A and B are shown apart, each in its own frame.
Chain A
């Protein structure tokens, strides 16, 4: 047993090397475009188009950030008066509330699909999935008419309603796979302990499924965060315009304001990334607690 044959050692070293190579390689692939956006945000517009390409900016040009985050920069003729701050706030509100409601309604539904037999279970599950097979443009017009009729045009509540309904199938489907892996013995044990369904669900099932729930939360959140088409149709003013819609306005058909676009993207995504990095300590706790099964 104390036989440390060199063959085994090198294969382990190679594996570790390969693993790190793959991870770092993928990390570079992800970071390079984002890093380039970051660097572009620190450049003046004339620097952006300078050839031959210079990677680093001449100086730390922070004006893009100021212009992007200022509420009303009508005085600046270069960047348009695009209201990124209100769009960002709208996005935060709409995305988080939609996700919470989707999880609130979707988690029990998903668990029910995963664990219980009832009439029409399979067909209902597949039907909810088919809503994601349609191109959004086909659904956009009738959704627009519905929202107009109930008076929620240009309203964050209307957006929340639409986004929640559209991500529910996704939420249910993703959590379905995690709930399938939850052993039924847990439920039996809880029943024996005298728990009713909700107690069991909240105190036993949810903690076990934490990794899945966190993953589903993140993945459900990004849909309203990034959605463009429905937002452009359902909103008319900064009351309900979200981030993607505001960012796309930097392409004016004559110029693309790269400096401002990059600054806006970085300003609205970097804080989230940093926050996740800082909070990941708590995320680890959640993940490891949930992962202990037996």
Chain B
């Protein structure tokens, strides 16, 4: 059964060469971003190379020679992979399920609740919920005759708790993006596929998934960038502990820059964070989404 996706190619083609108009349209945005964000980035970059004696790589060397940096980098990558994949999968599943329900918009309103509460405040609420003495979760588990784990005191469970909390906070984002993409699916390819006798799985694989590719791109990039910089929930829930089980690069950069007052080192660490992220994003875009960009 050949289901052509020619329809989709068309919608994504770039036919125009109206360069000047295009540039003008984008100009205000570019100017604003350049003014307010480019200078801080440049400042940070310059600062990271500054030492008392002049410009050198000293800050970078001292960070990279520290054991804690490599461990934290690995930990952060672990967080990013696990959280992003879980959120993508669950978000997609929930969004697909919502498509088949008629009162989906009231549900959507309820699902946006985590978005309305600041991540810091949500983290406080979860810290309380996961407390082994006071926590509602532990209480419910005890009620069901399951011994609750020490959510935040045990290193492995602390890691899992951070994943759960971030899932609570951020999956609505994934759901909203997917849901809006699904809401604008054109009807006719599906109708013709139905006539051709395609099964739901085939429809999903050859029609829905390709159409969701742009949404995938957005979610994957944004969530990866955001989770890689995870900070608020860790600080509130575990402080990076127990030990260094839940340390993240943002936390390390904050510690170096603000807590210790080594702002140059903090800038260097921020740059060290950004570079792998940048490379990963470029590779991801080039490899998977090259026709989307």
Q: Apart from A215-B180, A277-B109, what 19 extra A-B contacts exist at CB < 8 Å? A: A30-B111, A32-B136, A51-B133, A115-B14, A116-B22, A128-B29, A129-B225, A133-B277, A137-B270, A138-B257, A142-B43, A146-B40, A168-B33, A178-B180, A183-B11, A247-B120, A248-B121, A276-B109, A291-B185
Chain B contact residue count (CB 8 A cutoff): 112
B21 within 8 A of A: yes
Q: Which residues of B contact A (CB under 8 A)?
A: 10-23, 25-30, 32-33, 35-37, 39-41, 43-44, 90, 93-94, 97-98, 100-101, 105-122, 124-126, 128-129, 133-134, 136, 139, 168, 171-173, 176-177, 179-181, 183-188, 211, 214-215, 217-218, 221-222, 225-226, 228-229, 231-232, 249-250, 253-254, 257-258, 263, 266-267, 270-271, 273-274, 277-278, 281-282, 285, 292-293
Alpha-carbon distance A197/B100, docked complex (angstroms): 37
What distance in Å separates the Cβ of A211 from its nearest Cβ neighbour in chain B? 4
Alpha-carbon distance A280/B33, docked complex (angstroms): 33
- Are the CB atoms of A138 and B97 closer together than 8 Å? no
Q: Which residues of A contact B (CB under 8 A)?
A: 16, 19-20, 22-23, 26-27, 29-34, 36-37, 49, 51-53, 55, 105-106, 108-109, 111-113, 115-119, 121-122, 124-126, 128-139, 141-143, 146, 161-162, 164-166, 168-170, 172-174, 176-178, 180-185, 197, 208-209, 211-212, 214-215, 218-219, 222, 225-228, 243-244, 247-248, 251, 256, 258, 261-262, 265, 268-269, 272-273, 276-277, 280, 283-284, 287, 290-291, 293-294
**Chain B residues, Cβ within 8 Å of A125:** 293
**Chain B residues, Cβ within 8 Å of A162:** 36
* Residue of chain A at shortest CB distance from B100: A19
Alpha-carbon distance A251/B117, docked complex (angstroms): 16
- Are the CB atoms of B36 and A161 closer together than 8 Å? yes
- Are the CB atoms of A119 and B19 closer together than 8 Å? yes
Majority secondary structure, A binding face: helix
- Select A170's contact among B25, B113, B222, B293, beta carbons within 8 Å: B222
- Are the CB atoms of A36 and B136 closer together than 8 Å? yes
Alpha-carbon distance A225/B270, docked complex (angstroms): 25
**Chain B residues, Cβ within 8 Å of A124:** 26, 30
27 contacts between A and B (CB under 8 A): A105-B32, A109-B25, A109-B27, A116-B17, A132-B225, A133-B273, A135-B231, A137-B250, A138-B253, A138-B257, A165-B36, A169-B33, A176-B214, A176-B218, A177-B214, A177-B215, A180-B12, A180-B292, A212-B181, A219-B173, A226-B118, A228-B118, A244-B120, A248-B118, A269-B117, A273-B109, A293-B186
